[in-house]
Amino acid sequence: MMFRSLFCLVVTGFLYLSPASGEEKYNVLFIAADDMNNDLSAFGYDQVKTPNLERLASMGVRFDRAYCQQPLCGPSRASLMTGLRPDTLDLHTLKHELRERNPDLVTLGQLFRRNGYFSARAGKIYHYGNPSMIGTDGNDDPETWDERYNPQGIDSLQEENIIRYGKGRQDKGLGISMAWWDPVSEDGEHTDGMVATKIIELMKEKKDEPFFLAAGFFNPHCPYVAPKRYFDMYPLDEITIPDLDEAKADLLDVPPMAMQRDIKHWPYYFEDVTVEEARRCKQAYYACNSFVDAQVGRLLDALEETGLIENTIIVFWSDHGYFLGEKGLWYKRKAFERSAKMPMIIAAPGLAEGASTMKPVELLDLYPTLADLCGLTAPENLEGASLRPLLSDPDNAKWEKPAVTQIWHSPEAWGYSIRTDRWRYTEWLEGEAGRELYDHENDPEEITNLASDESKADLIKQLSAQLKPFVGLPPHKRN
C-alpha cells in the first residue's frame, strides 16, 4: 500500500521524483544518531528493539551496507554535510576547522537555504563534544542554518550521577568513557527528548513552507544515559559479551597499526574494565538505541498528524559504527566493518517502499541524493553519487561504486579501506605497515585476514589499484 501521494514523472524507465517548476517542493526531515551501529531490529538484529526504525524502513529503502568516510564524529559529519571526502576538506580530527580550511564550500543545508527552504537543526549535526558541548553550538556551521537550537537535559546537567568504569576514570571526562546512568525519568527530561520536541514544533510552525529540518540525537554516544524503562527492556542476563580468548585470537593476524589505539589497555580500551562492567555498558548502549528509536517514532507521528508525510523525504543515518566487545574492542575509529558501517534509511515520496539493498554506499552520497530528489543544482565538485537508482529499483539498479573509509591517527599512522560487494581490503601506509583482506561472503565477522594468502595475490593487486585513486591524504598529514 502506498503511504504517500505520487508527484512523479516516468523518466528513462524509473520514477523521477523532483517536483516540476512551480509545484510544491518536497520537505526534508534529516535524522541523525551518534555512534549507532547496526545492532538494531530494523536491520535484522532482533535483540535490540527499534520498532520505529522498522516502521521507517517499511516506508522506504534500508541500506544494509552503508559506510562512513572516517569513523570519527568530526570528519564523518563534515564529509556528509559537504559531500566531500575528509582528504578533500583536509579535516581529519575533531578540531573546528571546516570553514577555516574551506571558506567557499556550500553545505547541504546551505544549498537548501539558497533554494528557498527554511533550514534548521536541533541537537548535534556537526561535531559536538559529547556531553561537554551539549547546550552550545559546538563545532557547528552557522551558514548551514536559518535557526539553531541547543537543548540540554539531565544527561548533561546531572553528570555527577553517571557511573564510570576503568582505573582512574572516576574524575575524568565523559566524552570517551565506559559510563552509564538509568534515571527514573521522562523522555522530555533528556536532551534527545528535547531535540524531538523542538523539531516537532518547527514542523508545525513551518508546515506551509518548504523545510530542511535536522534532528541531531546525541545517543547512543557515551555516556550511555536513558530513562530506566529502556534499560528494563534488556535484562542483564540476556546481554552477552564475546569470549576474550577467542577475541584475542581474532587479532593475531591484524597489522599492529590497525590496533595501536586499542592494544595498550585491551580489552575494552580502559585499564581494569571487567567483563561484567562491559556487559553493563552494552545493556546501556542498547537502551539508548531504543530511546532514540522512540524519538524517531515521535517525529514520524508528527509528520502523519500534520499531513506532511505525504510530501517529506525522510533520512535516518548515524555517523559511523561501533564496537561492543567484539575482538575485545570498544568504540569506533577502526577500519573494521563494525566501525565503518552504520545504519541508513531513506524514505521518499513515490520511490521504493519496504525494500533493502546490499550494495555498498557512502554517507557522502546523501548530499547529491537529496539535491537530486528535490531538483536542486548541487555543486559540481561533490564526490558522492545520487542514490536515486537504488531508491527507485533497489533489486535491479546498476551500482558499481565501492565505499571507501579512511583512518587517520597521526602522520605516522593512517590507512584506507575499500568495501566492494564481497571484499573489505585495507592498506596501512599504502601497504608499508600492513594489509588486511576479508571475505564477507564466508567471513562476515572478519576473523581471518587473507592478505598473506598467495592465492589472493591477484585480487589484492586489483583491489589496491581500485583503492589508489582515493588515497589523497595531504602532504602535511603524512610522515
Query: Is 267 inside a domain boundary?
Result: no
Residues 61 and 206 in one domain: yes
Query: Is 327 inside a domain boundary?
Result: yes
Domain boundary among 401, 424, 457: 401
CB 360 within 8 A of CB 421: yes
Four-point Cα dihedral 317, 321, 324, 329, nearest 10: -170
Secondary structure of residue 74 in the 3-state scheme = helix
Domain boundary among 353, 369, 401: 401
For 438-477, how does the pLDDT look when each residue is reduced to its tens digit (9 = 90+)? 999 999 999 999 999 999 999 999 999 999 999 999 999 9
Residue 102 pLDDT class (50, 70, 90 cuts): very high
Residues 40 and 106 in one domain: yes
Query: Is 275 inside a domain boundary?
Result: no
Residue indicated by cell numbers 508528527: 302
Among the listed residues 48, 9, 17, the one whose alpha carbon sits nearest the alpha carbon of residue 286: 48
For 381-399, how does the pLDDT look when each residue is reduced to its tens digit (9 = 90+)? 999 999 999 999 999 999 9
Query: Is 215 inside a domain boundary?
Result: yes
Residues 200 and 293 in one domain: yes
The string of DSSP letters for 275-302 reads: HHHHHHHHHHHHHHHHHHHHHHHHHHHH
Residues 215 and 332 in one domain: yes
Query: Is 112 inside a domain boundary?
Result: yes
How far is it, in rounded angstroms, from Cα 119 to Cα 33? 19
Query: Is 268 inside a domain boundary?
Result: no
Domain boundary among 401, 435, 458: 401
CA atoms within 13 A on the CB side of 444: 5
How far is it, in rounded angstroms, from Cα 70 to Cα 76? 5
Query: Is 279 inside a domain boundary?
Result: no
Residues 202 and 341 in one domain: yes
Residues 319 and 190 in one domain: yes
Residues 222 and 354 in one domain: yes
Distances (CA, A) of 255 to 322, 409, 428, 431: 20, 15, 8, 10
Q: Once rounded to an integer, what is the mean pLDDT over residues 34-56?
A: 98
Residue indicated by cell numbers 526531515: 29
Residues 136 and 69 in one domain: yes
So which residues are the catalytic ones? Answer: 73, 127
Q: Once rounded to an integer, what is the mean pLDDT over residues 224-244?
A: 98
The type of residue at 203 is M
The answer for residues whose C-beta is within 8 angstroms of residue 199's C-beta and 6 or more apart is 29, 122, 213, 214, 215, 299, 302
Residues 70 and 201 in one domain: yes
Q: Once rounded to an integer, what is the mean pLDDT over residues 230-246?
A: 98
Residues 384 and 434 in one domain: no
What is the pLDDT, as a whole number, of residue 19?
52
Query: Is 11 inside a domain boundary?
Result: no
Residues 473 and 357 in one domain: no
- Computed over every residue of the chain, the mean pLDDT equals 95
Our count of domains for the chain comes to 2
Which residues partner with 362 through β-bridges? 67
For 269-303, how does the pLDDT look when each residue is reduced to its tens digit (9 = 90+)? 999 999 999 999 999 999 999 999 999 999 999 99
Q: What CATH number is given to the structural domain containing 211?
A: 3.40.720.10
Q: What CATH number is given to the structural domain containing 466?
A: 3.30.1120
Q: State the greatest distance between any 2 C-alpha atoms of the chain, in Å, as a whole number.
A: 64
For 340-372, how does the pLDDT look when each residue is reduced to its tens digit (9 = 90+)? 999 999 999 999 999 999 999 999 999 999 999
CB 463 within 8 A of CB 396: no
Residues 371 and 415 in one domain: no
pTM, whole model, 2 decimals?
0.95
Give the range of the structural domain holding residue 455, as residue numbers without chain letter.
405-477
